[in-house]
Amino acid sequence: MQLPAKTLMAATVGMACLMMTTEVKAQQNEKLSGRQKAIIPIAAFTGSGNMPGLETALTEGMDAGLTVNEIKEILVHTYAYAGFPRALNGINAYMAVMADRKEKGITDNEGKAATPMPSGFDRTAYGHRVRNALVGSDMSNRTNGYPAFAPVIDRFLVEHLFAEIFYRDILSHQDRELVTVSILAAMTGTEAQLKTHLRICMNVGLSKAQLEEFVKVLRQKVGAESAERSAATLNDLLGTSPPLNQAKSVKVIKNKAPTKGAAAHFTGNVTVESQFASEILNGYRGAIVTFDAGARTAWHSHPLGQTLIVVSGRGLVQSEGDAVQEILPGDVVWIPPNELHWHGAAPDSPMSHVAISDPLNDSTVKWMEPVSNEQYRKTPQ
């Protein structure tokens, strides 16, 4: 027997809310999973437009178990909060990463596709029910605020964002809220929305401990500015002091597995490890970078300059238009702001250095074209 359309719709909406309630109970008080942690920098870097950071985050996300369709969905979701330009830039960056992985023979898990909407789907009813469940109160017939001033934007929110987008079951509602707060944390001037969505995160089952972990991932993977903004907003939401995740004593950051330098930004084999960031708002970021013999960066610049401390091997550094300089263990190299340059290992020796730079608008580097073999061959032998 075929159910009437209204009965089917009520059952569909009811099931969605039941699933969200079940998800809350199942997930509450757990730590963030590896795939959830991987969501954070992907969404944040897409929202801020930091493409170099995004490329690394996309690779690490797939290695952490995110499927191809889940990452696509994160990037699509971004447009609702950061606009089409940032979302499309993110999708283009992902296409390039996928092409590089395919060329290397890596096969990634495609993952499930979204369940199609049923015929005659009532977007208004579904959108209101989902938003009300997320927020924890009935917002269906508001007579003040932006819904009264500009009703069309509330209709777009209800029928498109909370219906068409949230109906897509590639990501859970909890995943989508994690995507949303990551985007908002990476943007400036969005503290009010960030506070609202941090509250929604708790409504869908993310615990205080998990949100503190969210701040920690931002600090480690995205930047101190985003982390401090989120910590202060979460602190305000919870009424706690001092701000969450702020170090109160000596803090030791354990080294993690090295990551490979992106092929778009390095020639040859390069590894990055011991990544660190200042606990102070807008403070420095750094890492130890190791170059195999002959490996080097692409041409690039830093908005607020960079300091290199050579720790082993023999290396080279060159500013555009200047002669190549040799660098050895113990040498300290200062690169001025916006100075186009490259650095790397000598042709016959590996080299490791500590790289330290300050962010401007959450970005520390602007990448340009690779250093060609012809340019590199002109270096001292």
Nearest to 381 by CA among 294, 267, 320, 295: 294
Q: What is the mean pLDDT of the chain?
A: 89
Would you say residue 26 lies in a domain?
Answer: yes
pLDDT at 350: 98
Residue 338 pLDDT grade (very low, low, confident, very high; cuts 50, 70, 90): very high
Residue 26 has what pLDDT? 43
pLDDT at 144: 87
Cα 151 to the center of its chain, rounded Å: 32
At residue 124, the pLDDT reads: 96
Query: 379 pLDDT exceeds 70?
Result: no
> In the block, which residue shows the tokens 């969404």?
43
Same domain, 126 and 188: yes
- Tell me how far apart the alpha carbons of residues 380 and 170 are, in angstroms, rounded to a whole number: 54
- What integer is the mean pLDDT of 274-294? 86
Pair 227, 264 in one domain: no
Whether the per-residue pLDDT at 256 is higher than 80: the answer is no
The verdict on 166 and 81 lying in the same domain is yes
pLDDT of residue 246: 55
Higher pLDDT: 85 or 22? It is 85
Q: Are residue 62 and residue 164 in the same domain, yes or no?
A: yes
Whether 247 is in a domain gets the answer no
Question: Which pLDDT belongs to residue 89?
Answer: 97
- Tell me, letter by letter, the H, E, C secondary structure of 57-93: HHHHHHHCCCCHHHHHHHHHHHHHHHCHHHHHHHHHH
- Residue 245 domain-assigned? no
| Domain containing residue 154 | 5-238
Same structural domain, 101 and 173? yes
CA distance 82 to 249: 36
b (16+ CB within 10 A) / e for 289-304: bbbebbbbbbbbbbbe
Q: What is the chain's length?
A: 381
List helix spans (H) across 104-223.
123-135, 145-149, 151-156, 166-167, 173-186, 191-203, 208-217
pLDDT digits (tens, 9 = 90+) for 62-117: 999 999 999 999 999 999 999 999 999 999 999 999 999 999 999 999 999 999 99
Structural domains in the chain (count): 2
Q: Does residue 365 lie in a domain region? A: yes
pLDDT score recorded for residue 380: 59
Q: What is the pTM of this model?
A: 0.65
350 and 288 housed in the same domain: yes
Pairing of strands 332-335, 270-277: unpaired
Peptide bond into 242 cis (omega under 30): yes
On whether both 307 and 221 belong to a single domain, the answer is no
Q: How confident is the model at residue 315 (pLDDT cuts 50, 70, 90)?
A: very high
Q: Give the mean pLDDT of 318-335.
A: 95
Please report whether residue 251 resides in a domain. Answer: no
212 and 271 assigned to the same domain = no
Helix, strand, or coil here: 278? coil
Give per-residue pLDDT as tens, 196-223: 999 999 999 999 999 999 999 999 899 8
Residue 75 confidence (pLDDT): 98
Contacts of 355 (CB under 8 A, 6+ apart): 286, 287, 288, 289, 306, 307, 308
C-beta atoms surrounding 213 within 10 Å: 18
Distance CA 2, CA 5 (A): 9
**Do 101 and 205 share a domain, yes or no?**
yes
For 130-165, the pLDDT digits (tens) are 999 999 999 998 888 888 999 999 999 999 999 999
Burial 146-160, CB ≥16 within 10 A → b, else e: ebeeeeeebeebbbe
Q: What is the DSSP letter of 360?
A: B
**pLDDT computed for residue 255 by the predictor:** 78
If pLDDT is split at 50, 70 and 90, which confidence band does 242 have?
Answer: low
278 lies in some domain: yes
Same domain, 174 and 145: yes
Provide the pLDDT confidence category of residue 224 given band limits of 50, 70 and 90: confident
Task: Kindly tell me the number of DSSP H helices and DSSP E strands found in the chain.
Answer: 14, 13
Partner residues linked to 313 by β-bridges: 351
Instruction: Give me the pLDDT at residue 250, please.
Output: 77
Q: Could you tell me what percentage of the chain is helix, strand and coil, using 3-state DSSP and rounding each to the nearest 5?
A: 50, 15, 35
Same domain, 287 and 234: no
Q: What's the pLDDT score for residue 252?
A: 79
- 47 and 171 inside one domain: yes
Q: What was the pLDDT predicted at 248?
A: 57
